[in-house]
Amino acid sequence: MTRDPSHLLPAAEPVALIDADGRAIKGADGTAYPAPDDAALVKALGALLTARRLNDQAYALVRQGRLAVYPSSHGQEACQVAAAQVLDEGDWLFPTYRDTVAAVGRGVDPVEALSLLKGDWHCGYDPHEHHVAPHATPLATQLPHAVGVAHAATLRGEPTVVMAMCGDGGTSEGDFHEALNFAAVFHAPVVFFIQNNGYAISVPLSRQTAAPSLAHKGVGYGVPGERVDGNDMAALLAVLGAAVARARAGGGPQLVEALTYRMQAHTNADDATRYRDDAEVAAWVERDPITRLRTHLLDRGLIGPEQLQDFAAEAERVATHLRDGLNRDVEPDPADLFAHVYATPTPQLREQAALVADELSREGAR
Amino acid sequence: MTAVAEPMTASPAKRVETEPERGTLSMAQALNRALRDAMAEDPAVVVFGEDVGALGGVFRVTDGLTADFGEARCFDTPLAESGIVGMAVGMAMNGMRPVVEMQFDAFAYPAFEQIVSHVAKMRNRTRGRVALPMVIRVPYAGGIGGVEHHCDSSEAYYAHTPGLHVLAPATPADAYTLLRAAIASPDPVVFLEPKKLYWSKGEVEMPSRAPGIGSAVVRRHGTDATLIAYGPAVPVALDAAEAAAREGRSLQVVDLRSIVPFDDETVCAAVRSTGRAVVVAEAAGFAGVSAEIVARVTERCFNALAAPIRRVGGFDIPYPPPKLEHFQLPGVDRILDAVDDLQWEQ
């Protein structure tokens, strides 16, 4: 065992392959991360456009009273798309409450994904169908689960890799530490993916950590860390793709920190002007992940107006599906209150269910 | 060197038995045997926690499991309870049946968020699509001269959390029966093992034909009053019944075995048959399981009661140091005094 930690340290600068103007970064070919193939980039642009449309549609649906609240990932869509795109079908994704778009990227129906925020039921989708865990609302508690899913797969000799998502604030929680430590000790195939958007609601990163970067935290566990430009789709696909491939090949866990920015408030209930300047937000508009990738692909002649129209149409189709689904009122079944507490309801729960059924029957009789 | 578990090999040959095997075992041995038998029958059963490997657990409940089943099936983890329980959640999500050990009652608290927010709620959150068949074993309660943080009766925290089953055996036979039932359960179980009974011996039937989760049993029949107890309080209640018999009073003893689900039927039938009852529990009484028992039995059996139900339990204080713990533990005299108070003059 080497005690030299250098192989665990992130590069001095975040990995970037395409600059803010959409140009391939000179010399980037020489990094450890070759650019993703063109088809993957074109596919990612389509997904990015759908992701943005979903974010903005969901945000609008809050204003229309169809969703209680929506923690938007507007501005962070490249992270969302990349996290889903680098996984194979048998892999698992563990999303936080801000990662609805990543869950949709794995195939979860957006209407079902937003059941939580519509108030119909906590988790509206079947986690086993697309291997997407329920949204984690408590911070970092999903990370030890991700390690467990990965370790179970290892024990059975299955090639599963788990993408465990987390925000910058979540890295302060004890479960972040315990999950990384467990993953390292058990050599679990987990990619810990931190979207560092600079704020935990209002609290800036400087109040979360004094570490040189969040990726540096991996050193303490023996987990390699890497930093990546979180608005650079190509760099994200390259870095996360390499981490997944490494984990699948038996290389163990990895920690990836993406530097990005939440363009909107924490949720629609938050007032971001109380803790950050307009100028700061404006600077990040210049680094928008969609503009960068679209410019890059147009400049290289990999897409044309027709392709963009197709992408826009697909995004609109998904938004319409979301709108229609959320505008449809489905009366929740009160029997569900008691049906899933245990595999078989206890005698006490059967009594309580009967009480509600009786209340309902008397209401109906009135 | 990282602890890379080797892929699981075939489990040891299944025990094929027509007639149940019987043996005299301590509770710790019975628990060990339950783990062994479950692991032999189902390769999805895995055991992990702190010191459960080479050491066999600080109470030796996991003795020999790593040697006999391999590092993949029984392994030590980093010393972090939230990580242990959280990892068990993930393993249960992905086809395993984890049985984890919390080393002592009060050392389980770092896992509290995982237990309350995830273990207990996963089935409900996902409308039954994700089940968590997992067992959290907790050596619990006092009476062993343990220093602080080693003697908590923490059952109320778990019993108050919908979605968990909470079991507390009082005999080696039930330790075997209930741990097998817990491992086989499709729902998560908090399995409370009374530390002071680990070395108590009794006859164990394997496989067990005793009732499983959700069933209380009458341990001793009697006609004058019913003592309701669970876990470490059961032998104390039986001693009290024995002492009362010498004084000419016939006490019945009900052993809950299963705190959640609660067996209202057996408990209420027992109380109705005597008309008087005392709940005996080691935990602090305020807002505890004993209070719940009194409330629900009174709600159901008020007309059959000749006196209010009394409670004998721990005081509402942090668990005392070893030299004072005998004040905290319910004993025969306090139980008999409470029985004497059940308005016999009427």
User: Residue A28's pLDDT is what?
Assistant: 65
User: Residue A3's pLDDT is what?
Assistant: 78
User: Residue A53's pLDDT is what?
Assistant: 98
Residues A5-332, CATH architecture:
3-Layer(aba) Sandwich (3.40)
Secondary structure (3-state) at A344:
coil
How would residue A268 be classed by pLDDT, with cut points 50, 70 and 90?
A: confident
How does pLDDT run across B222-262, given as a tens digit for each residue? Answer: 999 999 999 999 999 999 999 999 999 999 999 999 999 99
- List chain B residues with CB under 8 Å of A126: 126, 129
Q: What percent of chain B has pLDDT over 70?
A: 95
Which of B82, B78, B84, B147 minimizes the C-alpha distance to B112? B82
* CA–CA gap between residue A114 and residue A239 (Å, rounded): 29
For range B46-56, the mean pLDDT: 98
Cβ–Cβ below 8 Å for A127 and B129: yes
Instruction: Tell me which residue in B82, B95, B186 faces A174 most closely, judged by beta carbons.
Output: B82
Interface probe for A, chosen from B46, B112, B127 (most Cβ of A below 10 Å), is: B127
User: Residue A267's pLDDT is what?
Assistant: 87
For range B300-317, the mean pLDDT: 97
CA-to-CA dists, residue A295 to A22, A82, A170, A301, B64, angstroms: 5, 18, 33, 10, 63
Kindly state whether A3 is in contact with chain B, defined as any CB-CB distance less than 8 angstroms: no
Could you tell me the fold of the domain covering B217-340?
A: Rossmann fold (3.40.50)
How many Å lie between the alpha carbon of A116 and the closest alpha carbon of chain B?
9
**B217-340 shares the fold of B25-206:** yes
How would residue A364 be classed by pLDDT, with cut points 50, 70 and 90?
A: confident
Instruction: Return the exposure string of A287-315: e unless at least 16 CB atoms fall within 10 Å of the residue's CB, then b.
Output: bbbbebbbbbbbeeeebeeeebeebeeeb
How does pLDDT run across B136-170, given as a tens digit for each residue? Answer: 999 999 999 999 999 999 999 999 999 999 999 99
Greater pLDDT, A365 or A231: A231
Return phi, psi of residue B48, to 5°.
-155, 165
- Residues B314/B329, Cβ–Cβ less than 8 Å: yes
Q: Which residue of chain A is at minimal alpha-carbon distance from B213?
A: A346
How many Å lie between the alpha carbon of B265 and the closest alpha carbon of chain A?
10
How would residue B9 be classed by pLDDT, with cut points 50, 70 and 90?
A: very low
Instruction: Tell me which residue in A151, A174, A347 faces B261 most closely, judged by beta carbons.
Output: A347
Q: List the domain boundaries for chain A.
A: 5-332, 333-366
Instruction: Tell me which residue in A141, A154, A343 faces B113 most closely, judged by beta carbons.
Output: A141
User: What's the CA dihedral at B21, B22, B23, B24 to 10 degrees?
Assistant: 150
Read out DSSP for B125-171? HTTTSS----EEEEEE---S---TTS----HHHHHTSTT-EEE---S
- List chain A residues with CB under 8 Å of B262: 346, 348
**Token couple for A122:** 């906590």
Q: How many CB atoms lie within 10 A of CB B131?
A: 18
Count chain A–chain B contacts defined by CB atoms under 8 A.
Answer: 161
Residue B37 carries which side chain, given as an amino acid letter? Answer: D
* CA–CA gap between residue A326 and residue A202 (Å, rounded): 29
Which of A6, A1, A2, A10 minimizes the C-alpha distance to A254? A10
- Residue A113, pLDDT > 60, answer yes
Greater pLDDT, B210 or A27: B210
Q: List the domain boundaries for chain B.
A: 25-206, 217-340
For range A346-364, the mean pLDDT: 94
* CA–CA gap between residue A159 and residue B125 (Å, rounded): 28
Q: Which residue of chain A is at minimal alpha-carbon distance from B214?
A: A346
Read out DSSP for B236-250? HHHHHHHHHHHTT--
Task: Determine the distance from the C-alpha atom of residue B29 to the mean position of all C-alpha atoms in its chain, rounded to a whole number.
Answer: 15
Instruction: Give catalytic status of residue B150 as yes or no.
Output: yes
Instruction: Tell me which residue in A174, A178, A348 faces B261 most closely, judged by beta carbons.
Output: A348
Which of B38, B50, B14 minimizes the C-alpha distance to B133? B38
Cβ–Cβ below 8 Å for B93 and A348: no
How would residue B346 be classed by pLDDT, with cut points 50, 70 and 90?
A: low
Cβ–Cβ below 8 Å for B2 and A187: yes
How does pLDDT run across B98-115, given as a tens digit for each residue? Answer: 999 999 999 999 999 999
Instruction: Tell me which residue in B5, B92, B128 faces A155 most closely, judged by beta carbons.
Output: B5
Residue B261: cis peptide before it, omega within 30 degrees of 0: yes
For range A121-136, the mean pLDDT: 97
Q: How many CB atoms lie within 10 A of CB A273?
A: 10
For chain A positions 59-88, those within 8 Å of chain B (CB to CB) are none
* CA–CA gap between residue B301 and residue A201 (Å, rounded): 53
For chain A positions 111-170, those within 8 Å of chain B (CB to CB) are 121-123, 126-128, 133-134, 138, 141, 143-157, 160
Cβ–Cβ below 8 Å for A149 and B117: no
* CA–CA gap between residue A119 and residue A67 (Å, rounded): 8
For range B169-175, the mean pLDDT: 98
H-helix segments, A100-226: 100-105, 110-113, 115-118, 127-130, 142-155, 174-185
User: What's the CA dihedral at B217, B222, B226, B232 to 10 degrees?
Assistant: -50
- Residues B30/B208, Cβ–Cβ less than 8 Å: no
Q: How many CB atoms lie within 10 A of CB B9?
A: 11
Residue B31 makes CB contacts below 8 A (sequence gap 6+) with B61, B137, B175, B176, B179, B193
* CA–CA gap between residue A236 and residue A256 (Å, rounded): 9
Interface probe for A, chosen from B94, B258, B296 (most Cβ of A below 10 Å), is: B94
User: Residue A155's pLDDT is what?
Assistant: 97
For range A356-360, the mean pLDDT: 95
- List chain B residues with CB under 8 Å of A147: 83, 86-87, 90
How would residue A26 be classed by pLDDT, with cut points 50, 70 and 90?
A: confident
Cβ–Cβ below 8 Å for B77 and A185: yes
* CA–CA gap between residue A143 and residue A56 (Å, rounded): 28
* CA–CA gap between residue A271 and residue A269 (Å, rounded): 7
User: Residue A194's pLDDT is what?
Assistant: 98
CA-to-CA dists, residue A234 to A20, A107, A139, A304, angstroms: 12, 22, 28, 19
- List chain A residues with CB under 8 Å of B289: none
Cβ–Cβ below 8 Å for B261 and A154: no
Could you tell me the fold of the domain covering B25-206?
A: Rossmann fold (3.40.50)
Block residue for tokens 């009082």: B170
Instruction: Tell me which residue in B5, B86, B128 faces A186 most closely, judged by beta carbons.
Output: B5
DSSP 8-class letter at A346: -
- Residue A289, pLDDT > 80, answer yes
Which of A226, A269, A287, A225 minimizes the C-alpha distance to A76? A287
- List chain B residues with CB under 8 Å of A144: 82-83, 85-87, 89-90, 114
Cβ–Cβ below 8 Å for A122 and B124: yes
* CA–CA gap between residue B314 and residue B312 (Å, rounded): 7
**Token couple for B5:** 């578990």
How does pLDDT run across A215-241, given as a tens digit for each residue? Answer: 999 999 999 999 999 999 999 999 999
Average pLDDT value for chain B: 95
How does pLDDT run across B10-22, given as a tens digit for each residue? Answer: 444 455 556 889 9
- Residue B203, pLDDT > 90, answer yes
- List chain A residues with CB under 8 Å of B72: 155
For range B119-145, the mean pLDDT: 97
Interface probe for A, chosen from B48, B81, B124 (most Cβ of A below 10 Å), is: B124
**Is ipTM > 0.90 here?**
yes
User: Residue B2's pLDDT is what?
Assistant: 43
- List chain A residues with CB under 8 Å of B85: 144
How does pLDDT run across A162-174, given as a tens digit for each residue? Answer: 999 999 999 999 9
For range A267-287, the mean pLDDT: 91
User: Residue B1's pLDDT is what?
Assistant: 39
- Residue A144, pLDDT > 90, answer yes
Angle between helices B233-246 and B332-340 (to 10 degrees): 60
Of A133-147, A272-286, B30-44, B269-283, the poorest mean pLDDT is in A272-286
Kindly state whether A352 is in contact with chain B, defined as any CB-CB distance less than 8 angstroms: no
Read out DSSP for A275-300? TS-HHHHHHHHTT-HHHHHHHHHHHT
Kindly state whether A346 is in contact with chain B, defined as any CB-CB distance less than 8 angstroms: yes
How does pLDDT run across A306-340, given as a tens digit for each residue? Answer: 999 999 999 999 999 999 999 998 889 999 999 99
Q: Which residue of chain A is at minimal alpha-carbon distance from B82?
A: A175
How many Å lie between the alpha carbon of B116 and the closest alpha carbon of chain A?
11
**Token couple for A313:** 């149409």
- Residue B5, pLDDT > 60, answer no
Cβ–Cβ below 8 Å for B87 and A145: yes
- List chain B residues with CB under 8 Å of A127: 93, 126, 129-130
Q: Which residue of chain B is at minimal alpha-carbon distance from A156?
A: B7
